[in-house]
Chains A and B, each alone.
Chain A
């Protein structure tokens, strides 16, 4: 039974990232010959001197003309054990915005460092953003090991440096792997060149990593997305609440509370097209039926009476700001949280985080493009939320421009 693993990676051409990705794709037979031929041809025409695998997905005219990656590129590969979605973000322009986007759905963040250079500014930024977005697993690939003669000392030093830095972050699971993307050492299979390394190859690690426990299976959270009312003759009274389980395990017979109204009822059935289910858990999309005929609509949250999210209008968030126009106090924004859309006013801009030093700058009164900072909001009506660290689904919000409709930023509830 193949699972799905979402990986976020970032960086520039220099660190060998595209070589590594190319190798993963090629060795899992996910790179097609016509794609490879096209990439080789373009690289040759441009006089690159190497095969630039970024061209695989850099198909936009502007990207090809300027030789840059504009956006998050999604690549797909699979082994018999797992299917992988790789969100690959460019290392330069819009770095933060794209990295935050890629990391928001990732199970694992893949970082590369050059064994000759060790931990650099970009590594620290990348690790910080992975931590901020609470990507549950992190893999640090110490690349170009062939250029340091597969020296164990070099590897251990980088591993230790990173551990020292990561202690300041909230990263639960870090794995460090010595690799050479160019020669393939420890990418797909264990390398004889690193007899001192007793861990897995990168691909083996990606295949075997335990991710089922990363979801919150404790706090029942079911944001109502859509009310199913067939209104047909045989299903005249059918009324089901459709949505994607955002947390916990829901079972028929469970006592539930509907928020923000506070009305209580009991689950009598969980329906899917493929038949009723006895348990629903994240990220299943199901339809829940309740015993009582309540007024429940889109934007409501179903939880357990003894385990409820916070219901409130005053939120404290870490935000990643994604547009040129700065975020200031008193700004009015639209908020999308689970299936609920409300309006809000920014009541405070508390500080900006310097993502290189992790220092807080409390003197700022606004956040600019690609800034990360803490703000406070007051919403026009209550949201049913959890801290982001507790639940990525019920702890995340989009900030939206009420006039143009643009997405302004991403918020993680503290």
Chain B
């Protein structure tokens, strides 16, 4: 069955599917070479097939991506072993896609020992939601959705309807409610330390009090690969297995693993307009104001968040390799370029994190 999937996969790659185009000739498609013996009883009959694309190991050295992956797998297993009810925050964005693949690797050939959690602002890109659902089905994973829209409709939240307001702030109470309702004691997030200054100071195990608050001045020192997950009832931790990855590492991993990512990460044509130095797409939720000129542009997204506050960048990168080349050459951070929510003030992210945001 697995070999079939790999086979199909190759066709998609050959057909120019986005996830294809391996970064270099160094990668070996183990699936193909072992595929011939897939049915035979190698390895005591347990595992007759392989998946993925193994990077050759020479002289007991690992590539930096292999080291980052090994570290992240270790973190996943520690949390699964020491916590009662973990969940993985999966948004369908590229970081959470990478995180999910690493999680898959950590527990394979068993299924994920925890559900996926998505906080849906109701302002998500359709492509991303469809992708999220498909991925959960493929993995046989339970998907828990916390809905901002439902909370607004139910009167639990009041929406800021002024122009330019986003639902980003409303994510936090819905996230906290989801954590409480499901009694999650550990929640994996795909945040990276290179993303933002407040995150640069955050631990891999980010301890949160009963209100989900982060106290940056009172963090536990984190040494070696010994993680201290002690917590009291009502408290929980956010876990960031990709803390040490950079944006470029994420893209290289997407190339190495041939991961499928939502199409909006690649260059496509969109009706866009400029606002506050960002390129926003024309959608039912984001309409140009008087004086803002709509222009069709070739764009891609570097981050995928709420439509109302996520900007696009002009790009011609249609493949992973082309994106990697662009990312390697870019001189602006991904959040600086495209996230209005982080540009509110120098400490916007810290303030949101203190309130319980990721």
- Which residue of B50, B64, B69, B216 is within 8 Å of A275 (Cβ)? B50
In Å, the complex CA distance between A64 and B349 comes to 14
Task: Judge if A178 is at the interface, Cβ distance under 8 Å.
Answer: no
Size of chain B's interface in residues, with CB distance under 8 A? 78
Among B193-210, those with CB < 8 Å from A are 193-194, 196-198, 200-201
Tell me whether B70 and A405 are in contact (CB under 8 A).
Answer: no
- Which residue of A70, A231, A275, A410 is within 8 Å of B223 (Cβ)? A410
- Chain A residues with CB below 8 A from B66, complex form: 284
* Among B145-153, B177-185, B227-235, the stretch in contact with A: B227-235
- Which residue of A74, A322, A339 is within 8 Å of B81 (Cβ)? A339
In Å, the complex CA distance between A229 and B104 comes to 14
* B111 and chain A: residue at smallest CB distance: A230
A387 CB to closest chain B CB (Å) equals: 15
* Among B119-127, B243-251, B263-271, B298-306, the stretch in contact with A: B243-251
Tell me whether A244 and B70 are in contact (CB under 8 A).
Answer: yes
In Å, the complex CA distance between A279 and B225 comes to 22
Tell me whether B50 and A398 are in contact (CB under 8 A).
Answer: no
Tell me whether A405 and B51 are in contact (CB under 8 A).
Answer: no
In Å, the complex CA distance between A274 and B106 comes to 11
- Chain B residues with CB below 8 A from A285, complex form: 69-71, 73-74, 77, 106
Given the known inter-chain contacts A38-B346, A56-B197, A298-B81, please indicate yes or no for A273 contacting B105, CB distance below 8 A: yes
In Å, the complex CA distance between A243 and B217 comes to 32
* A252 and chain B: residue at smallest CB distance: B43
Tell me whether B52 and A273 are in contact (CB under 8 A).
Answer: yes
* B230 and chain A: residue at smallest CB distance: A405
- Which residue of B50, B222, B346 is within 8 Å of A101 (Cβ)? B222
Tell me whether B220 and A217 are in contact (CB under 8 A).
Answer: no
* Among B90-98, B165-173, B283-291, B331-339, the stretch in contact with A: B331-339
* Among A78-86, A136-144, A149-157, A179-187, the stretch in contact with B: A78-86
A107 CB to closest chain B CB (Å) equals: 11
* B69 and chain A: residue at smallest CB distance: A285
* Among B53-61, B129-137, B155-163, B310-318, the stretch in contact with A: B53-61
Task: Judge if A170 is at the interface, Cβ distance under 8 Å.
Answer: no
Tell me whether A101 and B244 are in contact (CB under 8 A).
Answer: no
A3 CB to closest chain B CB (Å) equals: 6
Task: Judge if B80 is at the interface, Cβ distance under 8 Å.
Answer: yes
Given the known inter-chain contacts A243-B77, A275-B54, A283-B67, please indicate yes or no for A83 contacting B249, CB distance below 8 A: yes
Given the known inter-chain contacts A34-B333, A229-B110, please indicate yes or no for A60 contacting B216, CB distance below 8 A: yes
Tell me whether A238 and B54 are in contact (CB under 8 A).
Answer: no
Task: Judge if B211 is at the interface, Cβ distance under 8 Å.
Answer: no
Tell me whether A226 and B111 are in contact (CB under 8 A).
Answer: no
* Among A188-196, A254-262, A343-351, A389-397, the stretch in contact with B: A389-397
Task: Judge if A15 is at the interface, Cβ distance under 8 Å.
Answer: no
Tell me whether B62 and A284 are in contact (CB under 8 A).
Answer: yes
A237 CB to closest chain B CB (Å) equals: 8
Tell me whether B331 and A74 are in contact (CB under 8 A).
Answer: no
- Chain A residues with CB below 8 A from B67, complex form: 3-4, 283
B58 CB to closest chain A CB (Å) equals: 8
Given the known inter-chain contacts A334-B230, A407-B221, please indicate yes or no for A244 contacting B193, CB distance below 8 A: no
Given contacts A70-B216, A74-B243, A405-B228, 9 further A-B contacts (CB under 8 A): A32-B331, A76-B246, A104-B224, A242-B77, A271-B108, A276-B43, A336-B226, A396-B226, A407-B220
